[in-house]
Amino acid sequence: MADPHGPRPTATPPADAGPSLGSWTLTDARELGVLRRSATAALHPAPREEAAQRLLLVLSELATNALKYGSQPVTVSLHAANGGWLLDVRDGNWRTPPGHRARDDGRPGGYGLRILDTVTTAWGWYPGPDDGVKHVWAVVPAAGA
């Protein structure tokens, strides 16, 4: 069962990150469409449609949360990983860790981290070493989750 306050900081994401497939810098939510199209173009060979959709969902959630709750610029990095992809989203606000919101707080939204719990094999966050940034990472499998 997931911690209701979000994951505890982890030292690093899994060490099996493969080659970089791309890195994008965002300063505004209007750039999210370009991010999704660019990330899709970076996937070679093209994965099954459902795997690509899962990856784009997680990428969009993490980037949107960083833009909404972090500080800009936001950097999104995509790597090939053993059997899927590793996403790393970095923003300049390490004091605001990711956390699950109460389901009954009456506000719209708040499902992003629950989506990560469902469609990723692992996710977490850690503060950058001495630079005031926060990294939120997720491993998205290429096969069914």
Domain, as residue range, for 51: 17-141
Please check whether residue 12 lies inside any domain of the structure.
Answer: no
Is 65 within the bounds of a domain?
A: yes
Residue 47 belongs to domain with CATH number: 3.30.565.10
The reply to whether 36 falls in a domain is yes
**Residues contacting 50, CB < 8 A, separation 6+:** 144
pLDDT of amino acid 5: 43
For tokens 């070493």, the residue is 129
How far apart CA 87 and CA 141 sit, in angstroms, is 11
State residue 11's pLDDT score.
53
Residues 6 or more apart from 17 whose CB is under 8 A from it? 79, 80, 81, 86
Q: Is residue 51 included in any domain, yes or no?
A: yes
In a domain, residue 1? The reply is no
SS3 call for 72: coil
What is the count of structural domains for the chain? 1
* Token representation of residue 110: 């708040």
Distant-in-sequence, close-in-space partners of 13: CB < 8 Å, separation ≥ 6? 86, 88, 122, 124, 126, 135, 137, 139
Beta-carbon count within 10 A of 76 CB: 24
pLDDT of residue 14: 73
Q: What's residue 143's pLDDT? A: 81
Give the separation between CA 113 and CA 121, rounded to whole angstroms.
13
**pLDDT of 100:** 56
pLDDT value of position 91: 92
Does 111 map to a domain? yes
Per-residue confidence in pLDDT tens, the chain, 145 aa: 444 444 555 656 777 778 999 999 999 999 999 999 999 999 877 778 889 999 999 999 999 999 988 888 999 999 998 889 999 999 987 777 666 555 565 655 555 677 888 899 888 888 877 677 889 999 999 986 5
DSSP-assigned letter for residue 108: S
